Amino acid sequence: MGTKRIMFTGGGTAGHVIVNLALIPIFQKEGWEIDYIGSKSGIERKLIDQLDGVTYYPIATGKLRRYMSKENFKDPFKVLKGTMQAWRIIGKRKPSVIFSKGGFVSVPVIIAAKLSGVPAVIHESDFTPGLANKLAIPFAKKVLATFPETMNYLPEAKAEYVGAVIRDELFTGDKEAGLKNCGFNRKKPVLLIMGGSGGAEKINQTVRSSLDELLSHFQIAHICGYGKTDSSIDRDGYTQYEYVNEELKDLLAASDFVLSRAGSNAIFEFLALRKPMLLIPLSKQASRGDQIINANSFLDQGYARVLQEEKLTGESLVHELFQLKEKSPVIIDNMKKYHSDKSRDRVIEIIKNIMK
């Protein structure tokens, strides 16, 4: 049997890369050659460049905008260019299968896969498919869902519910290392704050305006986003990061609670790790509303509390975090009913079964 080769794609946000990061080491251990197609300067390139043994290929890509812009008229040409670039890369590398986590960069790759006769698998993380995956699904061989309800929005003949794929490394975190990294102790619970890969300015501002009250109850590890730390704040029990990668597993091990946006991959990781969470989803003004649906699903299942961004104030934030702390035993009991270990194995099985 010749060399086994798989090509990954997905980008735009860290959420469109995380599942790929969970799968790539498994295929590497089995001796597969790994290629990745992404954008020229997106976060996927920063994350994939840190991996050994993965060849990264940048292509042209457009952007999904929900507002009028002259750039919208250029994007179809960028997609066409990216499709041709991806077609040439696929022809050169000859992968047996392509796996996509979505984001607009994946659209030309999945189209090129169809043109090249290479089967493609798409993994949809959100409750309802995003526009990029909606465009790509007709060209894919298989589409996988994270939420069971998502099956209602997918073509029955090619869809399968598999659940969330969680990175193994997150279960290997060292609590003591996490506390030491932050300069924390065991006297107060630790609250980890994450605003997504780009950070969340309103969450950052509201947290900082409420530090006096919050620090009387929590130690806070605050992942602010690139360029969004505030060097003027120097408080015991409050540590800021622009972005974390390898340290995340230790920070999660050290954390008792999480305040986060409601991106699907992240919240399923918190669920698997049994971290009670307060979710502040992106508003409909800033998104298509998928995070609101994700958050409400977790609220209904008893995995989280939810605070809508329109209602976010210092007072409401403090109130909800105190409620989270009080209700955490019940939330953790609900989380114990969820098991994530079979999802990754099923995804890998599907990928191998549809290989070219």
Nearest C-alpha neighbor of 45 from the set 132, 108, 105: 105
DSSP state of 104: T
Mean pLDDT of the chain, nearest integer: 91
Asked if residue 228 and residue 182 are part of one domain, the reply reads: yes
- Give pLDDT tens digits for 100-115: 998 999 999 999 999 9
Asked if residue 178 and residue 138 are part of one domain, the reply reads: no
Asked if residue 284 and residue 146 are part of one domain, the reply reads: no
User: Could you give the CA distance from residue 2 to residue 5 in angstroms, rounded to a whole number?
Assistant: 9
Asked if residue 215 and residue 148 are part of one domain, the reply reads: no
Reported as a pLDDT band with limits 50, 70 and 90, residue 245 is confident
Q: Which residues of 19-31 are buried (b: 16+ CB within 10 A; e: fewer)?
A: bbbbbbeebbeee
Query: What domain count does the chain have?
Result: 2
Q: What is the pLDDT of residue 342?
A: 81
Asked if residue 294 and residue 192 are part of one domain, the reply reads: yes
Structural domain boundaries, residue 278: 172-335
CA distances from 113 to 21, 23, 57, 84, 123 (A): 21, 20, 15, 11, 15
Asked if residue 144 and residue 49 are part of one domain, the reply reads: yes
The dihedral through the CA atoms of 173, 176, 181, 186 has a sign that is positive
DSSP, collapsed to helix, strand or coil, labels residue 103 as coil
pLDDT above 80 for 122: yes
- Give pLDDT tens digits for 31-62: 999 999 999 988 899 999 999 999 999 999 86
Asked if residue 18 and residue 58 are part of one domain, the reply reads: yes
Nearest C-alpha neighbor of 221 from the set 232, 235, 209: 235
Asked if residue 157 and residue 64 are part of one domain, the reply reads: yes
User: pTM here?
Assistant: 0.82
CB 26 within 8 A of CB 33: no
Q: Which amino acid is at 242?
A: E
Asked if residue 193 and residue 117 are part of one domain, the reply reads: no
Q: What is the pLDDT of residue 338?
A: 86
The token pair at 240 is 């800021």
CATH number, position 177 = 3.40.50.2000
Work out whether strand 238-241 and strand 257-260 pair parallel, antiparallel, or are unpaired: unpaired
Asked if residue 191 and residue 105 are part of one domain, the reply reads: no
Nearest C-alpha neighbor of 270 from the set 332, 185, 226: 332
Q: Which residue has the tokens 């940048």?
A: 58
Angle, helices 18-29/341-353, rounded to nearest 10 degrees: 70
Asked if residue 228 and residue 102 are part of one domain, the reply reads: no
Asked if residue 133 and residue 200 are part of one domain, the reply reads: no
Instruction: Give 294-307 as a DSSP string.
Output: HHHHHHHTTSEEE-
Q: What is the pLDDT of residue 15?
A: 80
